Amino acid sequence: MNDVETGFLVKICGLSTPQTLTAALEAGAEMIGLNFHPKSPRYVALERARELAAIARGRTQIVALIVDWDEKEAVALAETLKPDWLQLHGRETPEQVRAIKAATGLPVMKALGIAGREDLAAIETYRGSADLILLDAKPPKDAAYPGGHGRTFDWTLLAGLDPALRFMLSGGLDPANVAEAIRIAKPAGVDVSSGVESAPGVKDAGRIRDFVVAARAAQSSNEEAGRT
C-alpha cells in the first residue's frame, strides 16, 4: 500500500462480494469502500461488511461510507468494523466532521459535490476539519442517495486549487476517461464505483483491473511531465 499522506491513491468503492474485493486487492487499490447507506444499490449489511473487511485488512485501507450519521452511530460502526477511514458523504457540517473524527479516533474523508465554480468555496470550509477531501459530481436534485450517479463534472474547474491541497476525484470516472481526468485535475487519487460495474451495484472484476491500470499509467505520465 502507498502512504496515504503522500502516494497516489486508487479507491474502489461500493464493493459487496469477496470476488470483486479480491479483484480490487489484486489490482493494487490503496483503498476499498464499503457503503452503509441503505438507499444505495451498493449498500452492504454490517455482517457482510465484516466478512469483506476481514479479507481486506492489512492489504488495503478500508473505508466505511456513511451519510449523515451522528457520533454515537459512527462510534458503534468503528468499534464493530474497525475501518481505517470514515467517508462522510452527506450534509455533515465541518463541526460534525470534527466531532465524528474525535469520537471515533479515525481519519475522515469528506465528500463535496461539485457542479459549478461556486461549489469550490466549500473546500476551504472543510479543509481544516477533514483529513482528505473527495470531490464528487453533485447528484441530481431528485436523487434518492448522494454521490455522482455516474456523472462527471467539469474537471477544469479544479485548475486553480491550491497545489498543496490533497484531494481525491470522483464522479463518473471509468477505465476510458480516468486518464483524462487525472491529466486535467491532477488529483492525489481517484475514486470509482459505478464506472466499474456491469449493472447498478454489480462490480466487474475486469473493469476494476482496467481502471487501476489506466489510473496508474496516467499518474506516471503526469509525474514524468512534471519532471521535464
Contact 28, 64 (CB under 8 A): no
Q: Of the listed 13, 84, 174, 191, which one is catalytic? A: 13
Contact 134, 111 (CB under 8 A): yes
Strands of 76-196 (E only): list them. 85-88, 108-114, 132-137, 167-169, 189-192
Q: How many CA atoms lie within 13 A of 168 on its CB side?
A: 30
Report the distance separating Cα 222 and Cα 26, nearest Å.
24
| 3 counts as catalytic | no
The angle at the Cα of 173, spanning 64 to 132, to the nearest 5 degrees, equals 40
Contact 112, 146 (CB under 8 A): no
| 136 counts as catalytic | yes
Torsion of CA 175, 223, 86, 130, to 10 degrees: -130
Give alpha helix (H) positions in 128-204: 178-185
Q: Of the listed 84, 136, 174, 191, which one is catalytic? A: 136
Chain center to CA of 202: 17
Residues known to be catalytic: 13, 136
